[in-house]
């Protein structure tokens, strides 16, 4: 049966891939983006500020009006603006938190009033919630907040039959980045379609809730030694790099 999906953050490459994946599955998608871009896979595109209660309420009500209900909410909006903590202004900090954490909370708040039993919320988090990267204090803090929010909502609304989960992507790009990919056990960085596939799984998995699913090619399981070149690993570990079968 076709599902009614509200996608917050539909303008980004990850958002566009998520919209395409739901559409390919036969679902109808209302997307909320900065410019309200009506992409080819959206039933409707809305230009709204989902970081506010008013904007989020409008997004949900418009979705219910257009699609006849709401089955799945996807929270994929975020802003990554590198800035060292000692130099970040209050405005930059609050903007980073608002555009990542508020755009998760307020749409979820509005959706929980209308999601039926069996409804699903899937948030797009980041490995930066648990693995620090240079100069991203607001982004990392906000993504950690998103994961805490996911667990809390999963606990509180599970008895109503609403599931809440998240995916946690590593580096995502549309092109191969060989030097970066060396540190990934699967040997490549992620693509937007990888994230979309995981989002669709969590949206449909009816006995999974409160989970943060890594979509990072194994990045989050690797020790620092995994990022060294093979010759440096041999020097550090004092052993020969083995040849893998089928490599």
Catalytic residues: 139, 143
In whole angstroms, how far apart are CA 67 and each of 29, 44, 123?
8, 10, 21
If 0-12 CB within 10 Å is exposed, 13-18 middle and 19+ buried, where does residue 70 land? buried
Q: HEC string of the chain? A: CCCEEEEECCCCHHHHHHHHHHHHCCCEEEEEECCCCCCCCCCEEEECCCCCHHHHHHHHHHHHHHHCCCCEEEECCCCCCCCCCCCCCHHHHHHHHHHHHHHHHHHHHHHCCCCCCCCEEEEECCHHHCCCCCCCHHHHHHHHHHHHHHHHHHHHHHHHCCEEEEEEECCECCCCCHHHHCCCCCCCCECHHHHHHHHHHHHHCCCCCCCEEEECCCHHHCCHHHHCCHHHHHHHHCCCCCCCCCC
For residue 172, the tally of other CB atoms under 10 A from its CB is 20
């Amino acid at each position: 049966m076709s599902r009614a999906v509200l996608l917050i953050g539909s303008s980004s490459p990850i958002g566009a891939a998520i919209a395409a994946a739901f559409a390919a599955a036969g679902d109808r998608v209302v997307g909320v983006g900065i410019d309200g871009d009506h992409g080819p896979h959206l039933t409707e595109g809305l230009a709204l500020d989902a970081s506010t209660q008013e904007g989020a309420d409008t997004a949900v009500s418009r979705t219910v009006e257009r699609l006849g209900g709401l089955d799945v909410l996807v929270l994929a909006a975020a802003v990554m603006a590198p800035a060292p903590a000692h130099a970040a202004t209050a405005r930059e900090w609050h903007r980073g938190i608002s555009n990542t954490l508020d755009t998760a909370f307020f749409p979820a708040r509005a959706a929980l009033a209308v999601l039926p039993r069996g409804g699903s919320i899937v948030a797009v988090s980041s490995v930066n919630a648990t693995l620090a990267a240079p100069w991203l204090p607001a982004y990392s803090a906000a993504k950690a907040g998103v994961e805490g929010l996911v667990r809390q909502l999963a606990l509180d609304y599970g008895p109503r039959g609403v599931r809440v989960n998240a995916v946690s992507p590593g580096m995502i790009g549309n092109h191969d980045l060989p030097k970066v990919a060396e540190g990934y056990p699967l040997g490549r960085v992620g693509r937007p379609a990888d994230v979309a596939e995981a989002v669709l799984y969590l949206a449909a998995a009816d006995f999974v809730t409160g989970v943060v699913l890594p979509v990072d090619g194994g990045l989050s399981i690797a020790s620092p030694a995994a990022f060294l070149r093979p010759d440096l690993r041999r020097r550090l570990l004092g052993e020969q790099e083995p040849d893998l079968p089928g490599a």
